[in-house]
Amino acid sequence: MADESKFVEDLAEKDDFAQWYLDVVYKAGLADESPVRGCMTIKPYGYALWEHMQRAMDDRIKATGHENAYFPLFIPSSFLAREAEHIEGFAPEVAVVTHAGGEELTEPLIVRPTSETVIGHMYAKWVQSYRDLPLLYNQWCNVVRWEKRTRPFLRTTEFLWQEGHTVHRTEDEAEAETLLILNDVYYDFFVKELAIPGIRGLKSESQKFPGALRTYTVEAMMGDGKALQSATSHNLGQNFARSFDIQFQDADGQVKTAWTTSWGASTRMVGGLIMVHGDSAGLRMPPRVAPIQAIVVPIWRKEAEREAVAALVAEVEAALKAVGVRVKADWREERPGFKYNDWELRGVPIRIEIGPRDAQNGQVVLVPRTSRTAKETVSKDGVARRVPEMLQEVHQALYDQALAFRQSRTYQVQSYEEFQEILADKARLGFIEGWWCGDAQCEAEVKAETQATIRCLPLERPDGSGPCIHCGKTGSAWAVFAKAY
Ligand SMILES: [Zn+2]
């Protein structure tokens, strides 16, 4: 019935992680290149994944009291200069519009790399009294950062994200907001939607957001032992409020400077989920955000068989749709083996095989993506109960495997030599936890010598202090070091 010569293209070995990653992105149909270097075209399958992620994240943003708004793409270039650390951090990667409408602009416009400045400008207008606070807004948009080295989803010149920006009356309220987003929005999202075990922590001074008082992060370990900063939440203190005159009259009649926060998570998370869960056969989609949760592969030889199979396929599809499962039947004129490989590459969590004998017996065969040899026969009446249950099992298996991998690649070393050995060994590369003296110079030396950076000072940490992993001076900061994307 089909072209026997058609095979799913091979992926690079996972050992060549960088090439394997690109193969998965392109061959699974998530994205394609772009005529502008460093940009990317997100294809429907990749965009559907993003939409499910976006929805799950947006629900959490709203459930924690925030509203969505939209701010302009273009920002007067003078705005960026108002916050000294901010311009230092972003100026090198900003795209500037100097001409428009056939004329040179009197003031160049920057394409937003992030929106603290333009939003700060608007907030100064909207905040007058303590009664106007807190202001809890978020926007979904694209931003542009002119990156030198790019990789689809992980680091692209233009990317999609959400950026939340809030204004508060007190420092305590701003800190509580920063942590609420870290815990109830980001961390919760990673665990429950993406099946990614994250590590929550504080960024060191050198790694924090330019202009922030404190930056909190969720860091995750990728399949090659490197770290990915997956979402960040910043307590901006009064830095931006001062630069943009966000002031309010408090209950005591005094005019005070407000406290602000900002927080963001981007299409980078798509890269993260590929690198955490992918295997030698391709992608493994976390079920809750998978565009297709169950793929039905009908199997038949003769036309007479096709009819009986088609009837059961339709029945199964209807039963699964009725319980909210995103199901699709693959009726392409290809061999079943080709379809199996193709959907494995695309990472669909469950495959449902239905052949003539199954049609006769009123049963189907379920195969979870996390254990491709574990075939399970289920009566057609049991499908609507068993498939949602199996989706949950796939989610749990992905989470457990990612956590076990992270634990197996997390070290507490006895010496700096051991630290260097691990970071130089591809087979052992991972996270190294230990005491740090807190000195930025010491941190910079570690980076220069090993390429590893402090990913975060984890919120969950041992008490006390100990000798710094690098210089040996007593330090009370507990740090996670790793090479990072
Ligand atoms: Zn040190």
d(CA 24, CA 273): 12
Q: 311 Cβ partners below 8 Å, 6+ apart?
A: 359
Residue 441 lies in domain: 410-482
Is 249 found in the same domain as 175?
yes
Amino acid letter for position 97: V
pLDDT digits (tens, 9 = 90+) for 10-32: 888 888 999 999 999 999 999 99
Ligand 1 mean position to 445 CA, how many Å?
9
Ligand 1 mean position to 471 CA, how many Å?
4
Ligand 1 mean position to 360 CA, how many Å?
70
Domain membership flag for residue 327 = yes
Ligand 1 mean position to 439 CA, how many Å?
6
Domain membership flag for residue 4 = no
The arithmetic mean of pLDDT across residues 158-169, rounded, is 98
CATH number, domain of 476, equals 3.30.110.30
Residue 242, number of CB atoms within 10 A of its CB: 16
The arithmetic mean of pLDDT across residues 230-258, rounded, is 96
Is 262 found in the same domain as 300?
no
What pLDDT score was predicted for residue 90? 80
pLDDT digits (tens, 9 = 90+) for 164-218: 999 999 999 999 999 999 999 999 999 999 999 999 999 999 999 888 999 999 9
Mapped onto helix, strand or coil, the DSSP state of residue 175 is helix
Mapped onto helix, strand or coil, the DSSP state of residue 269 is helix
Per DSSP, the residues of 347-413 read: T-SEEEEE-HHHHHHTEEEEEETTSTT--EEEEGGGHHHHHHHHHHHHHHHHHHHHHHHHHHTEE--
H-assigned helices in 206-267? 239-243
Is 422 found in the same domain as 373?
no
**pLDDT above 80 (res 85):** no
Is 354 found in the same domain as 248?
no
Is 340 found in the same domain as 203?
no
Ligand 1 mean position to 474 CA, how many Å?
8
360's tokens: 């006769």
Cis peptide, bond prior to residue 134, ω within 30 of zero: yes
Residues in the chain, total: 485
Amino acid letter for position 283: L
Ligand 1 mean position to 78 CA, how many Å?
39
Ligand 1 mean position to 434 CA, how many Å?
11
**pLDDT, mean over the chain:** 95
Which residue, 277, 309, 341, sits at the end of a domain? Answer: 277
**pLDDT above 70 (res 6):** no
Ligand 1 mean position to 468 CA, how many Å?
5
Ligand 1 mean position to 466 CA, how many Å?
11
Cβ atoms of residues 315 and 354 within 8 Å? no
The arithmetic mean of pLDDT across residues 113-120, rounded, is 93
**pLDDT above 60 (res 5):** no
Token look-up 């931003």 returns 143
Token look-up 């002119």 returns 146
Ligand 1 mean position to 467 CA, how many Å?
8
Domain membership flag for residue 5 = no
414's tokens: 């006895």
Domain membership flag for residue 263 = yes
Q: 338 Cβ partners below 8 Å, 6+ apart?
A: 2, 6, 7, 8
d(CA 19, CA 356): 40
Q: Find the Cα–Cα–Cα–Cα dihedral 146, 148, 154, 158, rounded to 10°.
A: 20
What pLDDT score was predicted for residue 3? 44
pLDDT digits (tens, 9 = 90+) for 133-157: 999 999 999 999 998 889 999 999 9
pLDDT digits (tens, 9 = 90+) for 337-389: 999 999 999 999 999 999 999 999 999 999 999 987 789 999 999 999 999 99
Is 265 found in the same domain as 203?
yes
The arithmetic mean of pLDDT across residues 38-43, rounded, is 96
Cβ atoms of residues 112 and 132 within 8 Å? no
What pLDDT score was predicted for residue 1? 39
d(CA 392, CA 72): 40
Which residue, 390, 420, 440, sits at the end of a domain? Answer: 390
Token look-up 């996670």 returns 480
Which residue, 224, 242, 277, sits at the end of a domain? Answer: 277
Cis peptide, bond prior to residue 92, ω within 30 of zero: no
Is 185 found in the same domain as 85?
yes
Ligand 1 mean position to 440 CA, how many Å?
8
Is 85 found in the same domain as 22?
yes
Say how many domains are in the chain: 3
Is 154 found in the same domain as 238?
yes
Domain membership flag for residue 134 = yes
The more confidently predicted of residues 8 and 118 is 118
What pLDDT score was predicted for residue 7? 62
Ligand 1 mean position to 436 CA, how many Å?
5
- Of 354, 337, 338, 239, whose CA–CA distance to 294 is shortest? 354
Is 94 found in the same domain as 36?
yes
CATH number, domain of 383, equals 3.40.50.800
Domain membership flag for residue 141 = yes
CATH number, domain of 66, equals 3.30.930.10
Domain membership flag for residue 441 = yes
Is 331 found in the same domain as 263?
no
Token look-up 């815990």 returns 183
Ligand 1 mean position to 179 CA, how many Å?
28
Ligand 1 mean position to 463 CA, how many Å?
18
Cβ atoms of residues 94 and 127 within 8 Å? no
Per DSSP, the residues of 62-115 read: HHTT-EE----SEEEHHHHTTSHHHHHHHGGG-EEEEEETTEEEEEEEEEPSS-
Question: For a pLDDT cut of 70, what percent of the chain falls above it?
Answer: 98
